[in-house]
Amino acid sequence: MLLWLLFVLLVASGSSIEATTTEETETAQFFTQLYKSNLQQMVAIRNESIEPCVDFYAHACGQFEQQQSEDAVPPYLYNLQDRMEFFEAQHGSFQTLPGKLLGQLYSECKQRNVQHVLSVQPVLTHWQQLLLQLPMLQPHQEQLQAWPYLRHQWRRRHLDEQLNWIELSAQLAAHGLPTLLHIYFAAGTIYVAPMAELPCPTLQGFRDSMATLLKDRNEQVSHVLAHELRMLCRGMRGELPLGQSLGNDASSSSDALKLDDNTLDYFQRFFAQLNFTPEQLTAARKLSLDVAAITQAWLVLRQTEPRIITNYVLWQLQQKLAYHDCFQLSKEFERLLHLEYWQWHVFAPKLQRNVALAMYQLHTTRFQTRRRSQLSRRDWYGYLLPKQLEQQELQIARLLQAHAQHYLNLTELTLHYSQVQFTAGSFYSNLLRLRRAQLRHSFESPFVDEEDVQQPAYFLRHFLHFALLTLHRPIYHYYATQGLELWQLSRLLLDTDGYYTALDCLQQQSQQLYDPSSAALYRQLSSHEVSAFYGFQRAFLAALRDYHFWLAGERFLFAEQFVLQYFGLDEQRVLFYAAAQQLCNRQDEILAPRLNRAFMNTLEFQEAFKCDAQAPMNPPAKCLVNC
């Protein structure tokens, strides 16, 4: 990359290079633009009137608000913005069947409220679209036009005979939208759990969420409905006491879930929607999690009016399917997206997969070396491998390829999702069809926690994000964001002795150097703040050394130096700015002291910025330098 960057810079300064192609020139211009746009923003955010050795956070972020236009994206959202823009640009070019389904769903999500210029039909509201598109609501469209219901409306319409909250909630749960009970699967196992995050906003929150639906009704209606819904959700969450007789049942110490008529009916309707065979249900392991919480919630449901439960189920449906940001589909169906990305069709014009894997191996070499020396073979796979296989299998490229072969198996996923049939222009029904297919497939697929930093799935995501980053940002930005995060989340660098050394050192530093005129710089830090400070400093230093390790192996290091110097920077200082600007305008009172104390206590900062001995950012005794 830096070779092409140097080429463009030399051409711009009048040098003559004859043997080049149009493609090489375009590549050079592309990577040069990455550096130019990022470095211009970095320099613009700085406040040159504040010296870096006086208050580095104020210096690095001083002009942040002045540079943020209405459409500007703050530095900490750069990576997310790049992923969104790449997905937006490429979703129409997806080639795998699951990828095409996701791409079509995203397109329909974006087109929901777009009206043709010649159309005379009014744009449907969110609720009206749900009534038209969702199969479980279509038979009751006429009755549901009047939702939400007060007691007299419910009785006048005889809705007890028409709307069954058990059937409705079971159907929604089978389509990946649990509202009262969470049932999920993993490799032949059925888990039954209470709703971990049962939505329960404030009274005003409920009222605001129903404002559009109730705009033509008396103001008191929203008060009544909000009170009923909040009482129900608080009761199900265990925040309100039950009656004495019910309380005794709920506190039962039994680990087995007792099935009353309601729960039994719910399970029957739920599994009927997923087309499980009797043999599959009989052979599956059944695990109930937090039986007391499930019992509590369903006892509350038993003593609550069906009208209120129906209101709450429909309210959750409306809220959870709002999709104000269509990009959340890429997170919800991340496995399908990763399958498409791993096939590399959308990356191929700019970057080959074997090249990307080699780059990723290089940029994470020090991390993988530390990880290999610190973790046992069992931590990676859950079982011991023969000693002779350990070295080969712990190579990151081999690890990713082995994981993708099983978890992102194109044949398996294509076969399963080929059963999904979309209806053109029906976003909400298509969404629930895809959710149902995803839920059903999880019964046959082993559970993989992609948030677990000890698992290959985490590194696969990290690698794909790395590949995206290299197409949008300079490499130093990787080390200031993803590279730093890799060290922080792994916790490979943390130890108890180091933490208590930092705690003692920082306390003494505050006592000796605290000055009311610069109170934020040397104020006392709580034990929690010291822990965060210690973790950040260790991770940053590791990322900084990763960056310098990469530069040391780069033949054209002087090209990086050349372009950085053009903007008044160098390879010693750029990562301090890049990391600091990830925190700009984000809880300054908390993050500014953490960042300043982390940087001032490193020799690398002092060497990069040449702070005077009396400078506020140059304490006489440095904490953690030798940790």
Among candidate residues 320, 342, 359, the one where a domain is terminated: 320
The tokens for 13 are 């300064």
Cα separation of 617 and 49, whole Å? 16
pLDDT band at 121 (very low <50, low <70, confident <90, very high): low
In-domain check, residue 365: no
Task: Assess whether 163 and 304 both reside in one domain.
Answer: yes
Among candidate residues 300, 320, 340, the one where a domain is terminated: 320
Phi and psi at residue 186, to the nearest 5°: -165, 110
Segment 391-399 long-range contacts (CB within 8 Å, at least 24 positions apart): 394/368, 395/361, 396/357, 396/360, 396/361, 396/364, 396/368, 396/459, 396/463, 397/357, 397/358, 397/360, 397/361, 399/456, 399/459
Task: Assess whether 167 and 303 both reside in one domain.
Answer: yes
pLDDT tens figures, 66-77: 877 767 788 999
User: 0.75 cut: is pTM over it?
Assistant: yes
Output the pLDDT for position 382.
46
Output the pLDDT for position 447.
86
Cα separation of 74 and 492, whole Å? 29
In-domain check, residue 435: no
DSSP 276: -
Task: Assess whether 288 and 198 both reside in one domain.
Answer: yes
Whether the per-residue pLDDT at 115 is higher than 70: the answer is no
The mean pLDDT of 544-562, rounded to a whole number, is 80
Whether the per-residue pLDDT at 359 is higher than 50: the answer is yes
The mean pLDDT of 294-323, rounded to a whole number, is 94
Output the pLDDT for position 557.
67
pLDDT band at 120 (very low <50, low <70, confident <90, very high): low
Q: Higher-confidence residue: 254 or 137?
A: 137
Task: Assess whether 77 and 186 both reside in one domain.
Answer: no
Among candidate residues 320, 342, 373, the one where a domain is terminated: 320
pLDDT tens figures, 88-111: 999 999 999 999 999 999 999 999
Whether the per-residue pLDDT at 247 is higher than 70: the answer is no
In-domain check, residue 8: no
- C-alpha distances out from residue 210 to 104, 134, 168, Å: 30, 20, 20
pLDDT band at 469 (very low <50, low <70, confident <90, very high): very high
In-domain check, residue 415: no
Whether the per-residue pLDDT at 17 is higher than 50: the answer is no
In-domain check, residue 26: no
Output the pLDDT for position 255.
55
Mean pLDDT score of the chain, rounded to an integer?
A: 86
pLDDT band at 397 (very low <50, low <70, confident <90, very high): confident
Task: Assess whether 491 and 578 both reside in one domain.
Answer: yes
The tokens for 123 are 């744009």
Answer for the pair 91, 111: CB distance below 8 angstroms, yes or no. Answer: no
The tokens for 113 are 């409220």
Which residues form the domain of 257?
137-174+178-320
Q: Higher-confidence residue: 245 or 574?
A: 574
In-domain check, residue 124: no
In-domain check, residue 366: no
For the chain, the residue count is 627
Task: Assess whether 146 and 287 both reside in one domain.
Answer: yes
Output the pLDDT for position 455.
84
pLDDT band at 554 (very low <50, low <70, confident <90, very high): low
Task: Assess whether 53 and 162 both reside in one domain.
Answer: no
Task: Assess whether 289 and 223 both reside in one domain.
Answer: yes
Task: Assess whether 71 and 202 both reside in one domain.
Answer: no
Whether the per-residue pLDDT at 119 is higher than 70: the answer is no
pLDDT band at 216 (very low <50, low <70, confident <90, very high): confident
Task: Assess whether 77 and 158 both reside in one domain.
Answer: no
In-domain check, residue 358: no
pLDDT tens figures, 493-547: 888 888 888 889 988 988 888 877 766 788 888 888 889 889 999 999 999 999 9
Task: Assess whether 48 and 158 both reside in one domain.
Answer: no
Cα separation of 467 and 360, whole Å? 8
Phi-psi region of 382 (alpha: psi -120 to 50; beta: other; left: phi over 0): left
Whether the per-residue pLDDT at 318 is higher than 50: the answer is yes
Task: Return the half-sphere exposure (C-beta side, CA atoms, 13 A cut-off) of residue 302.
Answer: 16
- Count of domains forming the chain: 2
